[in-house]
Structure 1
């Protein structure tokens, strides 16, 4: 079936497979097209605009992802995780005479937020949306990385200005790369070391200005050299000089345009559409996906299974319309909630299950709008709220 997007007006398709997925996951058919759904999710994530602020509890200077001119309470990391406040104290009854999102917005506006989003980090005060990192400065969305600056490193060490790259060490200005050591200005290179200004090189070492090489070493502009001659030419390039560096960079940009390129970079993948899909199968319209299967309309996902409309997620299963964080199962319409199961319309909740319309909770279950219920009360109230939302045309 085809449907017109209620946001942009363009027609989009809802396939029989989509209908089966929505039925099995108990969600309504989408009213927005995939692109507009993505825009809606991304609009909730301020990743890179940070502001100078003060903690509203201890009043120390902090950086914040929330602009200080907005009426939003922000706590530093230590105060946020302390027992000096209780997110449940902001709980409220659900009002069936008012729209759900109006009540959810009021809860999010009243409750304090962490100044920047970070979990299980050490010395990463100027990085945002970080997880399991150490000594990272001005990194945005890094994961399991240490001693890095700028960019978005994944499982990397001692790197500067890397983006959507995995398993890098001592690298600079690399994008869409994996398992590199000591590489500079590389793009889409894998399993290599000592590369300078290289594109689409795999299992190579000690190469400069090369494109599309496999299992090569001591090459310059795709031509082989002896080790002695290679080292002599490399030294003469004087890459420590900014002018010489920029000159070589411009030469390389012209050089790599001479080579044909594959239509998409989807190695070790089966039945996929999109780009930069690695070791995955049955993924449709996905980008920057790794070790995932049976996913659709997702971007920057790792170890995801049977998920749709998700961004910036790791190790998730049966998730729909989510953005941010990891280790989730069967959660829907969430912003940066993690380690959770069967939660809906939550923000910044961790280790929760069976929660609806909650914010900033930790280790809770059977909550609605941050109010605690018994299991039987929750199961009785939730269907009524969902029906109330459906009558308003909401998913």
Structure 2
């Protein structure tokens, strides 16, 4: 449609969202300077207010939210169509009542099936992500077709990880379609590419969630969910056994095809929101010298001899949970491991989930690591998250469902 065709039309909701979504004070490249303080390796209980400068103009009802690496982004009203890549951002949108507004994500069929395993335990909360666009290495032209109100994604991550994207492409999308708003490199405190390298700021998962809640004007939902999270972490940490009695734990990703094809050991307690479901549990790391992750062989796992094995990526279709567990038990090398002998091989779902999955994975890991303190994690076949009674739950599942459904 030509400019002449629209020159005398009243601005629509779409116009307000898209053209209100501008970056104030220097554009996309104006990152938020910080000290890289982000996650504490000790705990994930931060609920303090952010250091951003959110402002609101009563004359036009606009508001702005600041987050590294995108700087200050202005909005006229909450976005109604959402492009995401990694699921921690999609999880945040879902938690804030915008799960149906997502139009793209990484591996949508897989994450649709994984999230259903948990959401089945939240009454009235459902998703339908299986037919969304796959956002991984998506073409810039497709973003024009999707015409989203917001790209709830970290542009620095897009440039660093996607083959067909550069800084100029992200600038073009911001100027012609809608703003970027996301932070992903905080997951492992990874170095940002130029031009964000010097100014990139790291946040906890729940600090990112706070900023996203401001974008959608859903701060109250964030506040009640973060209170539940803080209480959960406090409950866990106040009931931990002495450090010397905590299990030596190997946090692993084992290839779906088996232990012969790949074992990756991940740090258990290092900074970054990829450890948001393990670090608060303060278990002893069976690989204490790891900074982030490393590929290992069976012999290295035997040498570490963990008391407990947590295998991430174990839940969902095609994750081969039962097969991998049986392989560890039957392999003549790995069957010597203490965790294998004592049947303390347990699942986790995904490293980079958002606030909803963080609550569930903290609960499940607490039961897996400290059953005498928090109740036994039951025998698991790879299906839905167990149906714990209210007395067995470490957080109120019904309350979380009510919040997501809008009963705040």
Q: TM-score, normalised by structure 1?
A: 0.23
Q: Higher relative contact order at CA 8 Å, sep ≥6: structure 1 or structure 2?
A: 2
* Rg larger in structure: 1
Q: TM-score, normalised by structure 2?
A: 0.23
Structure ranking higher in helix proportion: 2
